[in-house]
Amino acid sequence: MKLTARNTHRDLAYFFLGLIIAFSVSGIFLNHRQSWHPRRYIYSSQPITIPVPAGKEAIDDQFIADFTRSQNIEDNLRRFAVDDKNKLKISYTSNDVEIDITTGQGKIESYHTTPLLGQMTQLHQDTSKWWIYYSDAFGIAMFVIACTGMFIEKGAKSFRSRGWWLASLGIIFPLIFLFLLS
């Protein structure tokens, strides 16, 4: 095999095809995680009623610990807070609780990882040593794929003839979103 831009571009793209697809699909879903988190889906929602607390001040670490024990929630607490609408929100690793502290009525939602998609989104956040090395190799390969792609086409559709302005637009759009819209 002759080492050319076309061959390098093709073979790296073939090798990393699975990761390119996984990052593309999971990246799209992660962009919309405010409305639907791709790593979790509800597999049960249980209504609950608790005694009305004596006010926002009564909701402290001890109150949350007692609540967790009384509801038999065997999960790690992440955070809790009472919002402006008197809703107590408790977040655990695999459960979310929302209770109206004026009525004591609420619900416990239990979550499970979305099959396949949940594992793909984990690739964006994994920090194991070997995964970081592989991700670095992937990043370098994406750079090589981008650079070799500039030299594949010859003539009127080459990078020098028309590709440079499309590439410029491709650089400008993210910069607009990064600096002007954030």
Give the per-residue pLDDT at 36: 67
* pTM beyond 0.85, yes or no: no
**Residue 109 — pLDDT band, cuts 50, 70, 90?**
very high
Helix (H, G, I), strand (E, B) or coil at 95: strand
d(C-alpha 99, C-alpha 48), whole Å: 8
Give the per-residue pLDDT at 149: 85
User: Using CB atoms within 10 A of its CB, is residue 172 exposed (0-12), middle (13-18) or buried (19+)?
Assistant: exposed
Give the H or E element holding residue 176: helix 164-179
Give the per-residue pLDDT at 173: 84
Token pair belonging to 143: 């750079």
Give the per-residue pLDDT at 42: 65
Is the per-residue pLDDT at 38 higher than 70? no
Give the per-residue pLDDT at 170: 84
User: Using CB atoms within 10 A of its CB, is residue 81 exposed (0-12), middle (13-18) or buried (19+)?
Assistant: exposed
Give the per-residue pLDDT at 115: 81
Q: Parse the chain into domains and list their residue ranges.
A: 5-35+121-179, 40-113
Nearest by Cα to 58 from 77, 82, 75, 79: 82
Mean pLDDT of all residues in 120-138? 82
Is the per-residue pLDDT at 123 higher than 90? no
Kindly report the average pLDDT of the chain as a whole number: 85
Token pair belonging to 30: 């992660």
